[in-house]
Structure 1
């Protein structure tokens, strides 16, 4: 089918190329995306008013499509804030320290705990939790600091975030741009993420095993002293890289807060000693309060995993049996948010009965602030790629509802199809490469609208399910930009806790991850 390309098509194509070039230069792409949206709308309509309004409309349309994602992030973050306030977050991972007695067991425990926590709560809270509590134990058990950092990055920022199977932020963005069912993208992304992660972990194990040592308490002392001599100034320096985020600034120095046992009680203990010598009645009262607090923390440390374990069981029963009705659309994410909200209320009420209503509100506000900090830049970027989709272009361009919207991106793809090899492998690896390039900005999610939109346009032409291509593009986006092979991403937080140079960590992760991405793409084309 012949497609007549207009000036707006060429402007839109130029916008895509500029965005890709900006990503390759490791710069933020919000400004190029907004300018490209304005110029595309201006060229299409010939009206400066439409061009200006499209800047707002594009972000508004993206916000409507993605606000459920913002809300689930906010609720889960708020819940974790309440759990952190009572100390339940550390107690959830403390039992795993008992089985970390050698390099191999520490490797496996770090992988499993990081993956599970990141799958349910995202890597941002998982890295500080696992880093502060389990990395020192792993070092003592003989695991090298670089190995610990690689495992956490691969399982958290990589394997868990690239599928995002529970919260479904990434599949939602990919599916919205591709015009397919989010569950279809999520299911395929889960399989592909396990292939990439499994391959990367096996290669990492084989490469790093020779660096592990015999368990000894001296290893922990050596690790801490080496980090101090190595220029870990004030414990803040590793977080200074681009994309690291100020919220990780204190990451490299968790020990002063209480050491690897997660105590943070040295000041409290000193106070208790002073009180015991002067007022035994006050001391007894403080002991009772501390016991009550620890009991509450233990209860929630058990409640949260059990609640989400029950949800997983229900999810699996609905998917593979007829015992319960299967969840539809965004039901899974909604249930995760509902569970998080109830746990948030209960945790706040258990520790702050007098003003828990205000405390709960504060946690929710913190969650929303974090959600918009983490995802806010995605809105104008998604808005630009949505303008190439006829389903959204009508609203963005202010056209009548009944009018057909311009299919700018699909027209471009159709126009170049005759000049491209009609081959599923070539197309799949092209989407993967675009995803990796798009992830070079270090955010992980900003390229998902691009790979999703291209998947929706290219899939039918090469007889590949667009959901499969979207999942492949999602792998490239997040394994690169999510914080595994890009040093200017949130990988700086992992490097900070492991106390290793972030460039060394990124370089060591590159080969295992790229091998996994290639293998997973071949699998997707042959099996899906």
Structure 2
């Protein structure tokens, strides 16, 4: 393979993007510049270079728009459930189960996992934090252990597989030119392995620290939070994390004040609801007698993993209709649970027909959209058409806030794929474009070890590095592209390598290993330092990732 100057420019762009991720900076700018320079050098045309910047994002948006729609519909469904109070009612029965710290630990795991699987961790964190975490602490679970369970089950295990909504497998599979269903199935298995090992290690580390149930633990928890709140008021930047999360960048909602907190009365009202509801105690106040803001609420970068619930997301007026609330609190989990069972049965047997292509994602969106209409109708029959439309618009806005930043990044890596590069650089109808990434791999394959294990751990490492940016999904086009390019030489299937890269990227940046990711939201609601929580997650998660990678290569192949 004869490499051209454009190939080396593309490779330089990949290296710069990795270096930018390591420095915890946003990678949109280097991705766009690398796209422009690669197209300019390959075609020798300034006009083509400029147009390629636009075409790359357009091609990525065209390929990934179904993902945007799924995000929008699921978010709209959650908004409609909030209007009936059905979202809180879904988790309320579990409060009676947590009679001691051991039951509290595993109850938090199960509830967080399933809510995050259906809706992503974005709504799961405030919901669990407001309703179940105080109960778990009273039952004898330490706040650090509560944060560990929520982070591992939600930001880690549920988000890394994304088996219901399937945004992450879709990104990985598109970049790897693999079957999204196969990537989703293998990512689901690997996520259970990583999560199971991490939870087992975490529980073993915590079992001696579990205490007898007592109201004393809640009092101490509130007192410790008061001390941190007063300290933050004295020095607003004292608890501000380093890196982009502390300053709030694209993808967040609302204004951000000193210390990375949103400002304004809506935030105080939202925090009053989140802290007071379900805790069984008055809203905590700071030393000035004002409602104490517990969650960090920073505007993290735009991904589902790094997008905390903005203050305005909790301003939907709840209508007191118990019957409708109970119905949807039961209907929604059962509907998606039935879909999961169907997908599992279809993948392991021929008893039911398998869903092809994007059929599974379409079913998720269809259930969500009909639920929006039903919940809005149950809330107010006279205005349900207008309310339904507002929920859909809210969902679309959130989808582009959450995933918009991925488009120029994915566009650059699509430029390295021969199926998309011709269209991006406007080479003409039917003209096959250069496969920059694949050509580089082929040219250097003699220097690469022909070992599936080394390749798999290399892609895992790249995913972990990509996740250092703290935004969760932005590295998936890179790990997916590497999986598709390296699979043949490594003797491991591209779906398996893509799933392994997905594990590294999301477990790292999704909110378990880096303190400037959405782990901040978890730490805020359980009221522990985010850095301390990240340290607690590190050893269990890394052990799980190593075992899952070995399993993927040796068993899944």
For 1:292-371, what aligned pairs fall within 5 Å after superposition? Answer: 293-371=321-399
Tell me, yes or no, if the aligned pair for 2:130 and 2:275 is still in contact at 8 Å: no
Mapped partners of 2:9, 2:164: distance in 1 = 38
Taking a change above 3 Å as real, the CA distance of residues 116 and 177 of structure 1, as seen in their structure-2 partners, is: same
Mapped partners of 1:523, 1:262: distance in 2 = 47
Mapped partners of 1:511, 1:299: distance in 2 = 42
Give the TM-score normalised by the residue count of structure 2.
0.86
Residue 336 of structure 1 and its aligned partner are, at CA, apart by 0.7
SS state at 1:231 partner: helix
The counterpart of 1:47, out of the listed 45, 48, 52, is 45
For 1:191-202, what aligned pairs fall within 5 Å after superposition? Answer: 191-202=189-200
Query: Could you list the per-position Cα deviations for residues 85-143 of structure 1 after superposition, in whole angstroms to 9, with x for gaps in the alignment?
Result: 11100000000111101111000000001011111110001111111110000000000
Residue 239 of structure 1 and its aligned partner are, at CA, apart by 8.4
SS state at 1:525 partner: helix
Taking a change above 3 Å as real, the CA distance of residues 292 and 486 of structure 1, as seen in their structure-2 partners, is: closer
Which structure 2 residue ranges, 5 or more long, are not aligned?
A: 255-260, 284-317
| Count of residue pairs the alignment pairs up | 500
The aligned residue for residue 283 of structure 1 is: none
Taking a change above 3 Å as real, the CA distance of residues 357 and 432 of structure 1, as seen in their structure-2 partners, is: same
Residue 310 of structure 1 and its aligned partner are, at CA, apart by 2.4
Mapped partners of 2:271, 2:447: distance in 1 = 51
Residue 348 of structure 1 and its aligned partner are, at CA, apart by 0.6
Taking a change above 3 Å as real, the CA distance of residues 420 and 312 of structure 1, as seen in their structure-2 partners, is: closer
1:152 pairs with 2:150: yes
Tell me, yes or no, if the aligned pair for 1:158 and 1:483 is still in contact at 8 Å: yes
Residue 402 of structure 1 and its aligned partner are, at CA, apart by 1.4
The aligned residue for residue 230 of structure 1 is: 228
Residue 258 of structure 1 and its aligned partner are, at CA, apart by 3.0
Mapped partners of 2:62, 2:281: distance in 1 = 41
Mapped partners of 1:392, 1:308: distance in 2 = 34
Tell me, yes or no, if the aligned pair for 1:252 and 1:498 is still in contact at 8 Å: no
Residue 304 of structure 1 and its aligned partner are, at CA, apart by 1.1
The aligned residue for residue 268 of structure 1 is: none
The aligned residue for residue 258 of structure 2 is: none
Which structure 1 residue ranges, 5 or more long, are not aligned?
A: 265-289
Query: Could you list the per-position Cα deviations for residues 319-367 of structure 1 after superposition, in whole angstroms to 9, with x for gaps in the alignment?
Result: 3344432111111111011000011101111112111111111111111
Residue 54 of structure 1 and its aligned partner are, at CA, apart by 0.2
The counterpart of 1:448, out of the listed 468, 476, 482, is 476
Mapped partners of 1:61, 1:470: distance in 2 = 21
Taking a change above 3 Å as real, the CA distance of residues 161 and 196 of structure 1, as seen in their structure-2 partners, is: same
Mapped partners of 1:359, 1:240: distance in 2 = 38
Query: Could you list the per-position Cα deviations for residues 397-425 of structure 1 after superposition, in whole angstroms to 9, with x for gaps in the alignment?
Result: 00112111101111100111111111111
Mapped partners of 1:349, 1:181: distance in 2 = 38
Mapped partners of 1:445, 1:509: distance in 2 = 19
The counterpart of 1:258, out of the listed 258, 268, 277, is 277
Mapped partners of 1:332, 1:156: distance in 2 = 21
Query: Could you list the per-position Cα deviations for residues 48-77 of structure 1 after superposition, in whole angstroms to 9, with x for gaps in the alignment?
Result: 010000000000000011110010011000
The counterpart of 1:104, out of the listed 87, 102, 121, is 102
Taking a change above 3 Å as real, the CA distance of residues 94 and 179 of structure 1, as seen in their structure-2 partners, is: same
Mapped partners of 1:178, 1:118: distance in 2 = 26
Taking a change above 3 Å as real, the CA distance of residues 432 and 256 of structure 1, as seen in their structure-2 partners, is: closer
Query: Could you list the per-position Cα deviations for residues 265-292 of structure 1 after superposition, in whole angstroms to 9, with x for gaps in the alignment?
Result: xxxxxxxxxxxxxxxxxxxxxxxxx996
Tell me, yes or no, if the aligned pair for 2:132 and 2:278 is still in contact at 8 Å: no
SS state at 1:441 partner: coil
Taking a change above 3 Å as real, the CA distance of residues 195 and 317 of structure 1, as seen in their structure-2 partners, is: closer
Mapped partners of 2:548, 2:39: distance in 1 = 38
The aligned residue for residue 297 of structure 2 is: none
The aligned residue for residue 177 of structure 1 is: 175
Query: Could you list the per-position Cα deviations for residues 344-391 of structure 1 after superposition, in whole angstroms to 9, with x for gaps in the alignment?
Result: 101111112111111111111111111111111100000000001000
The aligned residue for residue 74 of structure 2 is: 76
Per residue, is there more helix in 1 or in 2?
1
The counterpart of 1:492, out of the listed 520, 525, 537, is 520
Mapped partners of 1:469, 1:259: distance in 2 = 43
Tell me, yes or no, if the aligned pair for 1:239 and 1:246 is still in contact at 8 Å: no
Mapped partners of 1:319, 1:153: distance in 2 = 28
The counterpart of 1:506, out of the listed 526, 530, 534, is 534
The aligned residue for residue 8 of structure 2 is: 10
Tell me, yes or no, if the aligned pair for 1:154 and 1:484 is still in contact at 8 Å: yes
Mapped partners of 2:345, 2:386: distance in 1 = 38
1:385 pairs with 2:413: yes
Taking a change above 3 Å as real, the CA distance of residues 291 and 11 of structure 1, as seen in their structure-2 partners, is: closer
Query: Could you list the per-position Cα deviations for residues 3-49 of structure 1 after superposition, in whole angstroms to 9, with x for gaps in the alignment?
Result: 11110000000000000000000000000000000000000000001
Taking a change above 3 Å as real, the CA distance of residues 118 and 4 of structure 1, as seen in their structure-2 partners, is: same
Taking a change above 3 Å as real, the CA distance of residues 259 and 306 of structure 1, as seen in their structure-2 partners, is: closer
The counterpart of 2:463, out of the listed 430, 435, 438, is 435
Taking a change above 3 Å as real, the CA distance of residues 112 and 454 of structure 1, as seen in their structure-2 partners, is: same
The counterpart of 1:407, out of the listed 425, 435, 439, is 435
Taking a change above 3 Å as real, the CA distance of residues 403 and 262 of structure 1, as seen in their structure-2 partners, is: farther
The counterpart of 2:136, out of the listed 135, 138, 155, is 138
1:523 pairs with 2:551: yes
SS state at 1:417 partner: coil
The aligned residue for residue 305 of structure 2 is: none
Taking a change above 3 Å as real, the CA distance of residues 526 and 59 of structure 1, as seen in their structure-2 partners, is: same
Mapped partners of 2:136, 2:319: distance in 1 = 29
Give the TM-score normalised by the residue count of structure 1.
0.91
The counterpart of 1:120, out of the listed 115, 118, 121, is 118
Mapped partners of 2:169, 2:451: distance in 1 = 25
Tell me, yes or no, if the aligned pair for 1:239 and 1:492 is still in contact at 8 Å: no
The aligned residue for residue 503 of structure 2 is: 475
Mapped partners of 1:43, 1:521: distance in 2 = 38
